[in-house]
Structure formats: structure tokens, C-alpha cells
Amino acid sequence: MKKLLCLLLAVATVLAMSVLPAMAEGAEINMFISSPEYADAVNELIAAYKEVAPDVTINYETTQNDYPTLLKTRINAGMTPDIFSTTSGKEIADYAEYSYNFAGSPAAEAMDPAVSAMMVYGDGEIHGFALKGNYFGMLYNKAIFEEVGIEFPRTLDAFEAACEKLSEAGYQPVTTGFAEWWVFKHVMQHFLDAASDDPAALVAAFQKGEAHFKDYPVLYDNFFRFIDLCVKYGDNKPLETDLAGEDAAFGAGKAAMMTGQGAWVEADVLAIDDALQIGFAGYPVTDDPAKSQIIGGSDQALRINKDSANLDAVMDFVNWWYTSDYGKAWFCDVAGVIPPITDAKVADMQIIQQGSELSATDGAAALSICYSSDSFNQAMGEAIQAYIGGTIDKDACCAQIEAKWVELDGAAQ
């Protein structure tokens, strides 16, 4: 018995020793980020950095499912990754005590101002960088619009008329993805931007409980009119149609418009029909066409652990990513994303091209989803779903959203 036990212990010790990582000579960077759709591109980036800095080892891990929970677990276990992701905007503050302020570094200087605006904490501290920029807006099928002979609607009245015409022509005018809670935050931010010249202050007022839907016709009337029209002219089972359902309806040329999405769906809908001509535009939010703007920026932030054992090595890597020739070209050539830096070429994709043109000609509105937490955004999505499902009316829905804004994003947080 004793001998057996000793043997077992010996075996266990040997196993443990062999599993323990051999202490590397150079620095090690642990990178645990979301956005698994860019795993291949990030691996290429890391391979390229290996040639620049051979003694730095980057351990890259990614997951989509439940990333925030996994991150919290690691942070609380004292294993904060050297590079991790959060959403930008409000969550910058939540994780500020762990993240490094790299304002003034070459990477921070190279960042697109629209992106870095969402990474600011306190007085000009920069607490994050982005893997990509993004464009939010409405997608439409150019061929269908040409066939029916109408322009993309930039006012709500025009939107209703366009839906009617498209419907008569036998198309499903719009596909909505209302089964996903995050679709609503993408739609809502366009209305928030139209409701106030200073959407950040408006959201802050909502969070303090000082603002009310009723005082903002763009929200109380226009937003709900838009939702109602989307339900009327949209998917057969609106609360059952998710992103995949939207992709299918739009990609197959069944639906003429797609709401709640942005640049990230292009590859998926082109996979269904690679000849699809995608139009990209702002939402019809008021009766003023000029208010119909797209939104740009980054809703995701990559953060640097300020207590990292290899902070210098991490900063070297990030600076190289944002300023070296390979790094600058990587966004467009390898990852195929909107570069989050000013000095880079634009990828040859339909939404990105139109997005970059539109923000040059018409300007882009603020990425106001980031003024609220995703906890709130999810609660808001659920309230609007309940409105669409008919379990609560418009006033109850507004009251619920207002209450959640205070409860989840108010002073207590």
C-alpha cells in the first residue's frame, strides 16, 4: 500500500514538473481577447512580430462565448491577461483600475480620433486601443432599389413609402433581427444622435433619471414609428429572426433592407450571393435627410494590464502593431477591417468604401451605444422586444427603459 502510494506520488510529481512551462528566456505576453472571427489574422500578426522580436512569445487565446465572464474569472484569480478586451465607452471606467494609460505613446498618437474618443478615461487618459474601426448603418440591396425605381429613404415618411413600394413589388421591405437584444442598441443610437446635439449629455441625463422619452419626439415618436414600420414590413416572425435569419433573407435577395447591423455582415451576406450589390446608409430618423447619418468608431477596446510583468514588451508590441509598415497594412490586407488608425489604406469592401465616403461627405454621428453599459443595452433590448411582442405598451416600454437606465447605469454604478 505504502509503496503504491509513493509510486503514485512520484509519478504525479514528474507529471507536474513536465507540464510546468519551461521558463522562457525572453518576455511572454498573454493575450486573451474576444473577436474570434479575426483569429487567423491575429495569428498572422503574431507570426510577423516573431520575426521582429524573436525572443518575445505571445500566447494568444480567444473565445466568443461568454468572454466577459471568463475575463472576470481570470482577473479575480489574479491571472489578468497582459492584453484583454472590453467594450469601449462606459466599460473603460469599469476596468480602469487594471488597465494601463498609454496616452502619448506612438500607438495612441496613431489612433483614429473617432476611435480614441471612446477609449478616454478621466482627463485624457487613453485606456484602450482597437483591433478595428467599425461602421453602423442600414444595408440595402441596390439592385432591388433600382428595379423598383426608388432612392434609399432618408426620412421616415420616405421610409414608409419605400416599404409600401417594395412590398407591392413582391419583396420583403426590411429584415430586422429583432430576436437579438443588441440589434436594438444599434438602431437606437442613430435616434439618440438625432435627438440631441450632445448625445453623451442626453444619455447621462437619462442615467440620472432627469430625461424622459416624452420630451424627445425623435425618441418617443420617431423611434417607435420606425420600430412599428419594421415590424409591419419586416420578418414574418420578428422576435424569432436573429442575425442568421437576417443574413439569409438579405443575402438571398428576399429582403431589400437590413437593420441593426453594419460593416461586419458583409462577408456573411456575400457568402450567400457574391454578386450582391450592397448599399450602405444612415437610418431615416426624422423628416430631415441631413440627420440620416452613418456611425463610425470602435465599440470594442483592447486593454493593457498595467501590472503586467512585461509592460515594456507589451507596449513595444502594441506600438509596432499601430505604427510599423506591416502593422498598418495588416488591418486592410490581412484582417480586412476598417483601420482604427489614421494613416492606413481602406479595405476594398463595399460597406467600408461607402462608409468612408459617407463620413467624408455627410459626416458620421457619434457611437452613442458606448455611453451606456451593455447590461443596460440588453435590458433595453428586452423591453423593446416585450413592446413588439405586445406584452407592454409604448409608455410602459419607455418607463421600463428609463428605470433600467437609472438602475443599471446610474450613480450607484
Residues that bind another protein (CB under 8 A): 1, 5, 68-69, 72, 75-76, 94-95, 97-98, 179, 181, 236-241, 245, 373-375, 378-379, 382-389, 391-392, 408, 413
User: Does residue 278 contact residue 142 with C-beta atoms inside 8 Å?
Assistant: yes
Nearest distance from residue 133's CB to another protein, in Å? 26
Residues 175-204 as b or e (16 or more Cβ within 10 Å = b): bbbbbbbbbbbbbbbbbbbbbbeebeebbb
Q: Which is nearer to another protein, 93 or 143 (CB)?
A: 93
Which is nearest to 216 in space by CA: 232, 241, 199? Answer: 199
DSSP string covering 93-126: HHTTTTB---TTSHHHHHB-HHHHGGGEETTTEE
User: Residue 60 corresponds to which cell in the numbers above?
Assistant: 494568444
Q: Which is nearer to another protein, 47 or 396 (CB)?
A: 396
Nearest distance from residue 243's CB to another protein, in Å? 12
Q: Which is nearer to another protein, 237 or 345 (CB)?
A: 237
Q: Which is nearer to another protein, 193 or 247 (CB)?
A: 247
User: Backbone phi, then psi, for 290, in 5-degree steps?
Assistant: -65, -20
Nearest distance from residue 408's CB to another protein, in Å? 6
Nearest distance from residue 291's CB to another protein, in Å? 29
Residues 31-41 as b or e (16 or more Cβ within 10 Å = b): bbbbbeebeeb
Q: Which is nearer to another protein, 143 or 239 (CB)?
A: 239
Nearest distance from residue 347's CB to another protein, in Å? 32
**Chain mean position to CA 289:** 25
Q: Which is nearer to another protein, 59 or 391 (CB)?
A: 391
Count CB neighbours of 353 within 10 A.
13
User: Backbone phi, then psi, for 183, in 5-degree steps?
Assistant: -65, -35
Q: Which is nearer to another protein, 59 or 73 (CB)?
A: 73
Secondary structure of 336-362 in HEC code, one letter for each residue: CCECCECCCCCCCCHHHHHHHHHHHHC
Pairing of strands 278-281, 28-33: unpaired
Nearest distance from residue 99's CB to another protein, in Å? 11
Gyration radius of the chain's alpha carbons = 24
Which residue type does 18 have? S
Nearest distance from residue 187's CB to another protein, in Å? 16
Q: Which is nearer to another protein, 341 or 408 (CB)?
A: 408
Nearest distance from residue 73's CB to another protein, in Å? 9
Q: Which is nearer to another protein, 196 or 385 (CB)?
A: 385
Nearest distance from residue 61's CB to another protein, in Å? 19
User: Backbone phi, then psi, for 310, in 5-degree steps?
Assistant: -120, 50
User: Residue 64 corresponds to which cell in the numbers above?
Assistant: 466568443
Q: How far apart are the first and last CA of the chain?
A: 58
User: Residue 138 corresponds to which cell in the numbers above?
Assistant: 442600414
